[in-house]
Structure 1
Amino acid sequence: MAKTPYHSLTLFLTLSLTILLLVYPLPSTSFSIGVNYGALADNLPPPAQVAAFLKDRTFIDRVKLFDSNPDMIRAFAGTGIALTITAPNSDILSLSTLSGATTWLTNNVSPFYPATNISLIAVGNEVLATSDRNLIAHLVPALRSLSAALSAAGFHQIRVSTPHSLGILSASEPPSSGRFRRGYDRVIFAPMLDFHRKSKTPFVVNPYPYFGYSNRTLNYALFKPNPGFFDPVTQINYTNMFEAQMDAVFSAMNRLGYGDVEITVGESGWPSAGDAGQVGVNVDDAAAYNGELIRHVTSGKGTPLMPNRTFETYVFSLFNEDLKPGPTAERNFGLFRPDFTPVYDAGVLRGGAQGGGPTPAPTGTTEWCVATGGASEAALQANIDYACSTAGVDCGPIQAGGPCFQPNTAQAHANYAMNAYYQFAGRHDFNCDFGRTGVIVTNDPSNGDCNYST
């Protein structure tokens, strides 16, 4: 067929676009990855600095807490970082009633949302691993009640789930044999998965190849080259343990008819230090596992039984935690040290692996944070309590006899305390949010001996 002017133009545009892409490649899209923020340590930086560091210096855009610590929740206000908070196992019985769930939301969510982007509430942690049958029996009712309370409060964007260890499976090798523990499959997991399907919320699992490897299977666990393990039913040769564990969970779900329910990885990680002689526990292997894990879950590749899926994933963990009990490895799962320097390069830092603290504030104070005129006295007092309880923030000047004690009003004291927090945390806009009761000003509020700039 003869070439028409249209064909010539199409060819010209195609060639031109190809050349442009070669000379000016499209920027790579940043990935979405989460991290578990544990606090079993006595040397961690203040939550405000943690939030600023994650926002300024990393690609991490979601964080999972193991409780509902108000200081941590408030620290993420205005950052846009998606936060998972946890209701402890001890709250499950009360959460199983609508009134109990409503009270929990009133105390742990309403004061912070939507200033803090609370994305998910985890009801307990690995509840099925306990031997408390009463707790287990109330788990699904708690999920339902909390979901109903969220809807009644108008918090439709907040999801509800509960994390599970892989101990929920009675069989997992080969992956096609995956099934839930007998007795819990139909009584607990079928109604739970039905809840997740209807509420469009994820089934959260904690796959840890670290807890399943041997000397023989180390490369298989670390995503390194290996012969793989063959599943004779599906004819699939698995070359990494993470995919095998995920597909075993999928097989168990699919066996009950819920293979379409979304799966989230609540925890997975590898320690960088262990006890003497422990094979496979070192900085290089931790970097290998977590780096490949992040690349895998964000690639869109999925797994052999779940092709083309991405998995919302939370790496364990943000910091090394020096107070965790157990073997040495338990205290060395962190991506970062308490001073924000990376233990190794996992690929989550913007601009490479240099690390360091949050972006420092510009020298010279030109902006200050004060309370808005319409803030209630209760809100002002809450702001004072929060700011002054933050390690590193000096509220001495507003104590009796201090240069900023007068005028002795909640507004004046809140202005000083909120600004002290704002200056300490690095002068980010979100450090002056305070549940939308703070405002940044450019006129120095200092007066007399009360100096806001120091």
Structure 2
Amino acid sequence: MAPSVTTFQHPAVVANFLKTKTIINRVKIFDTNPDILSAFANTGISVAVTVGNGDFPALKDEGAARQWIASKIQPFHPRTKINYILVGTEVLHWGDQNMISSLVPAMWSLYKALLSLGIKDIKVTTAHSLGILFPTKIPSEGRFRPGWDTVVLAPMLRFLRATKTPFMVNPYPYFGYDPNQKNFALFKRNAGVKDPHTGLTYFNQFDSLLDMAHSAMKVLGFPNVSIAVGETGWPTNCDGWEACSVDNAATFNGHLVRHVNAGRGTPLMHNRKFETYIFALFNENQKPGPTSERNWGLFQPDFTPVYDAGIMLGQNGGRTGRGRAARPNPRPGTNITSNRQAVVCTKSCC
């Protein structure tokens, strides 16, 4: 994402808003924009940064990786709490063969470069779309697609296990929306869906998707590598399709925050609290593509909440709201545009 967040607001204004008005304590950006990294210095808000898909293959060379860390990370660390370097974005889904074959070597090179420069508190990972999984609706049947499983994902999971870093996935119940299972997708009360192999019952699709990824990891021999959610969310408008609405987005993200914060885990991963990033921070009224692409945000560019997801601070410093819908109120002339924009992680989610 370049730039990660482009608004009429200066990045420092955005950082201060998040620090003083919300419970958000982590953000993820899709580049290493120096203005954004500077803006988050001394805020206490952690920032995950991303090496672009076109840039990371060169970083499998350890010298190039060291130079990248020295120029992109060292000038800001530790005043800016950089917690992750993500190597590419959904590389197995979008990348060419050179990107795919370079992914794990680049992760190792960046990790070694960090250590060689005395940086031990930044982890290296990458986020995957769930297109890495063979299609199924049964959590215990989760398997990685042949060709990626042993060649790319097993070596990656070995790296993540060795460096105590989570495997990051992007589960979006929205993309599998079935109007007959609306409540299942939105964390609303439903009869549940039973896994015929384990006998476990699922009451939301988010847990089901995470357990599919866990099952696939277990087949490869890595059941104890932790999982983090690199992105999830719900759009508020997509030209009349019933799935997209302010009410649905407020319901999904509001319940998501409470569900993850409860720390109950999933049917296959009990009592786990998943670090979870919500896509996205702002709506973007100049972004190309379908209407939905411009309407994933928690806020309008003028900081007006698109809906109440329970992430604003109350006067007593506590969380307010229960995922209620709020009327969108875009201010004329306030534009935001980017290829992809920031993802936020709240204190509740992490």
Q: Give the TM-score normalised by structure 1.
A: 0.68
Mean CA deviation greater in 249-258 or 171-180: 171-180
Change (3 A) 1:81 1:131: closer
1:91 Cα deviation after fit: 1.3
Mapped partners of 1:287, 1:38: distance in 2: 27
Supply the AA of the counterpart residue of 1:288. Answer: T
| 1:147-296 matches, cutoff 5 A | 147-276=111-240, 278-296=241-259
2:49 and 2:82 in contact (8 A); partners too:
yes
- Asked which structure has the greater CA Rg, the reply is 1
Mapped partners of 1:181, 1:270: distance in 2: 26
Matched, 1:102 2:102: no
- SS of the equivalent of 1:157 reads coil
1:37 and 1:64 in contact (8 A); partners too:
no
1:220 and 1:228 in contact (8 A); partners too:
yes
Residue from 90, 99, 102 that aligns with 2:54: 90
- SS of the equivalent of 2:183 reads helix
**Per-residue deviation, residues 288-314 of structure 1 (Å, max 9, x unmatched):** 000111111111100000010001111
Residue from 84, 98, 118 that aligns with 2:82: 118
2:262 and 2:273 in contact (8 A); partners too:
yes
1:269 and 1:333 in contact (8 A); partners too:
yes
Mapped partners of 2:122, 2:88: distance in 1: 16
Residue from 279, 291, 294 that aligns with 1:328: 291
1:216 Cα deviation after fit: 1.1
Q: Give the TM-score normalised by structure 2.
A: 0.88
Supply the AA of the counterpart residue of 1:228. Answer: G
1:40 Cα deviation after fit: 6.5
Matched, 1:51 2:15: yes
- SS of the equivalent of 1:85 reads strand
2:114 and 2:120 in contact (8 A); partners too:
yes
Residue from 323, 328, 338 that aligns with 2:301: 338
Of structures 1 and 2, the one with the larger relative CO (CA 8 A, separation 6+) is 2
Mapped partners of 2:177, 2:75: distance in 1: 44
1:40 and 1:324 in contact (8 A); partners too:
no
Residue in structure 2 matched with residue 308 of structure 1 by the alignment:
271
Mapped partners of 2:66, 2:123: distance in 1: 15
- SS of the equivalent of 1:162 reads strand
Mapped partners of 2:109, 2:119: distance in 1: 14
Matched, 1:146 2:110: yes
1:339 Cα deviation after fit: 1.1
Mapped partners of 2:95, 2:247: distance in 1: 37
1:171 Cα deviation after fit: 3.4
1:100 Cα deviation after fit: 1.1
Mapped partners of 1:170, 1:96: distance in 2: 28
Percent identical residues: 52
1:142 Cα deviation after fit: 0.5
Change (3 A) 1:306 1:315: same
Mapped partners of 1:237, 1:44: distance in 2: 47
Residue in structure 1 matched with residue 34 of structure 2 by the alignment:
70
1:39 Cα deviation after fit: 4.1
**Per-residue deviation, residues 417-437 of structure 1 (Å, max 9, x unmatched):** xxxxxxxxxxxxxxxxxxxxx
Aligned Cα root-mean-square deviation (Å) = 1.6
- SS of the equivalent of 2:134 reads strand
Which structure 2 residue ranges, 5 or more long, are not aligned? 315-319, 327-350
Mapped partners of 1:309, 1:97: distance in 2: 36
2:4 and 2:31 in contact (8 A); partners too:
no
**Per-residue deviation, residues 20-45 of structure 1 (Å, max 9, x unmatched):** xxxxxxxxxxxxxxxx997465x442
**Per-residue deviation, residues 111-144 of structure 1 (Å, max 9, x unmatched):** 1111101110000000000251111011000000
- SS of the equivalent of 1:124 reads strand
1:37 and 1:317 in contact (8 A); partners too:
no
Residue in structure 1 matched with residue 96 of structure 2 by the alignment:
132
Residue in structure 1 matched with residue 312 of structure 2 by the alignment:
349
Q: How many aligned residue pairs are there?
A: 317
2:4 and 2:33 in contact (8 A); partners too:
no
**Per-residue deviation, residues 250-290 of structure 1 (Å, max 9, x unmatched):** 000011110100111010000112212x1121111111000
- SS of the equivalent of 1:204 reads strand
Supply the AA of the counterpart residue of 1:207. Answer: P
